[in-house]
Copies of this chain bind each other. A is one copy, B any other.
């Protein structure tokens, strides 16, 4: 109303952030312009830089600045096991257990029919291509134990059947309904050790 148009544009632009509605976008814009112009400038640059630099690893599909990420390049990992997780944060939780030494594939999401995310949107064909590198023997499904994560694991399990691969699922030591990102490393380590064949 009395807002200058560039301020209105900023408020509107902030709404691209998940969970940010009109009121909190307005509060954020006022806060930045009034109290943290330095932070706002840093954010503007960080967004532009990340957009220019960050892409998906050709092997694990996680975020990287290179064609193949550091972990996939390392050469010290067990190339015969491929762990499938939903998000990069889950990969990091797996790494923190220090028990898993194989490779990863990051789905960058989960099957979620209600949100319009089906097998096509998840680009599961990339996962199929990945497991056919001649080295992968076991696929360890480490999606969340939420309804969507379980459905995703089940779907991928069916997809990989009959390809001569061992398909496993981390043990349900992770609390039912819980998410990997919020699980302590000890519980998750147990769940990795107790992984079972997918029936």
Which residue numbers of A lie inside 8 Å of B, CB to CB? 1-7, 9-10, 12-14, 16-19, 23-24, 26-34, 36-37, 39-51, 53-54, 62-66, 69-71, 87-89, 91-92, 95-96, 108-109, 181
Contacts and interface: CB of A to CB of B under 8 A. Distances in A.
Contact of A43 (B16, B36, B39): B16
B49 A4 contact: no
Contacts of A54: 4, 6-7, 33
Lowest 5 CB-CB distances: which A-B pairs, in order? Answer: A16-B39, A13-B46, A44-B47, A4-B65, A10-B50
A4 B47 contact: no
A46 B10 contact: yes
B34 A2 contact: no
A4 B64 contact: yes
A2 B70 contact: yes
A187 to B, nearest CB: 18
A43 to B, nearest CB: 4
Task: Name A's interface SS.
Answer: helix
A142 B13 CA distance: 30
Given A2-B71, A63-B33, A17 B28 contact: yes
Nearest to A13: B46
A10 B54 CA distance: 11
Contact of A6 (B1, B7, B16, B49): B49
Contacts of A9: 46, 49-50
Contacts of A71: 2
30 contacts: A2-B69, A2-B88, A2-B92, A4-B53, A4-B54, A4-B65, A5-B65, A6-B49, A7-B50, A7-B54, A9-B46, A12-B46, A13-B43, A16-B39, A17-B17, A18-B27, A18-B28, A29-B50, A30-B88, A30-B108, A32-B47, A33-B54, A33-B63, A34-B108, A37-B51, A40-B50, A41-B47, A43-B44, A43-B47, A44-B51
